[in-house]
């Protein structure tokens, strides 16, 4: 893979959306689903969030999910050849975030288009790289310091009991 110099990549981030994979690790414990999240440093301070990141040129979506999982928690999910997202979620810097009622996450660094997945991993997940910690949480006991937009993403992936995913277009506010 060819890597761009940091200043060139920053210019690209400021100029166009970045294709990313976002994924929530899940497990079943005593008949209940739990969400695996990482604690990380961010523009919002230390926050809990799902895993993911950009898709590299020439990398399949499945390979991007595996790479981010391996690099961040040390284990890889088993995935089908062509996984399909459960939701497509957008992340915007506040200054360009939509004001028409579109639900989106807050990412001061870039506008990202997140192909969002729910995955299970085998093995003992351990924090690495950007992850300061990795822990599982019940959907009704998520930590209060979530990256802004994560709770809404989890709702749309049908992982929480709070709210309901909005699958039909919503009218713009008047």
d(CA 59, CA 51): 17
Q: How far is it between the farthest Cα atoms of the chain? A: 50
Question: Domain limits at 78?
Answer: 13-156
Give the domain CATH number at 59. 3.90.79.10
Looking at the domain assignment, is residue 167 inside a domain? no
Looking at the domain assignment, is residue 172 inside a domain? no
Measure Cα distances from 84 to 66, 72, 128, 133, 173 in Å: 14, 21, 26, 28, 31
Looking at the domain assignment, is residue 138 inside a domain? yes
**Rama region for 144: left / alpha / beta (φ>0; ψ in -120 to 50; rest):** alpha
**Cβ neighbours of residue 137 closer than 8 Å, sequence gap 6 or more:** 34, 35, 37, 48, 143
Question: What is the pLDDT, as a whole number, of residue 10?
Answer: 86
Looking at the domain assignment, is residue 168 inside a domain? no
Closest-CA residue to 121 (of 75, 53, 88, 71): 75
Q: Which residue has the higher pLDDT, 62 or 174?
A: 62
3-state SS assignment for residue 141:
helix
Domain count, the chain: 1
161 pLDDT band (50/70/90 cuts)?
Answer: low
Looking at the domain assignment, is residue 18 inside a domain? yes
Contact 106, 91 (CB under 8 A): yes
The three-point CA angle 27-50-31 to 5° equals: 20
The three-point CA angle 98-19-69 to 5° equals: 120
Question: What is the pLDDT, as a whole number, of residue 34?
Answer: 96
Name the pTM for this structure: 0.87
Question: What is the pLDDT, as a whole number, of residue 2?
Answer: 60
Condensed to tens digits (0 to 9), the pLDDT of residues 98-141 reads 999 999 999 999 999 999 999 999 889 999 999 999 999 999 99
Looking at the domain assignment, is residue 166 inside a domain? no
Looking at the domain assignment, is residue 163 inside a domain? no
27 pLDDT band (50/70/90 cuts)?
Answer: very high
d(CA 118, CA 164): 17
Looking at the domain assignment, is residue 6 inside a domain? no
């Amino acid at each position: 893979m060819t890597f761009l110099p940091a200043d060139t990549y920053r210019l690209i981030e400021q100029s166009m959306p970045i294709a990313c994979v976002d994924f929530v690790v899940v497990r079943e414990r005593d008949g209940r689903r739990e969400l695996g999240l990482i604690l990380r440093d961010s523009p919002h301070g230390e926050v809990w969030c799902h895993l993911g990141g950009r898709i590299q040129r020439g990398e399949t979506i499945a390979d991007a999910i595996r790479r981010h999982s391996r690099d961040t928690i040390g284990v890889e999910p088993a995935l089908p050849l062509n996984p399909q997202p459960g939701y497509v979620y957008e992340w915007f810097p506040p200054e360009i975030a939509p004001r028409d009622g579109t639900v989106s996450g807050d990412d001061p660094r870039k506008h990202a288009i997140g192909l969002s997945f729910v995955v299970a991993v085998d093995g003992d997940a351990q924090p690495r790289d950007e992850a300061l910690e990795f822990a599982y949480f019940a959907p009704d006991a998520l930590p209060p310091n979530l990256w802004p937009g994560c709770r809404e993403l989890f709702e749309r992936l049908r992982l929480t009991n709070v709210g309901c995913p909005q699958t039909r277009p919503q009218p713009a506010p008047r």
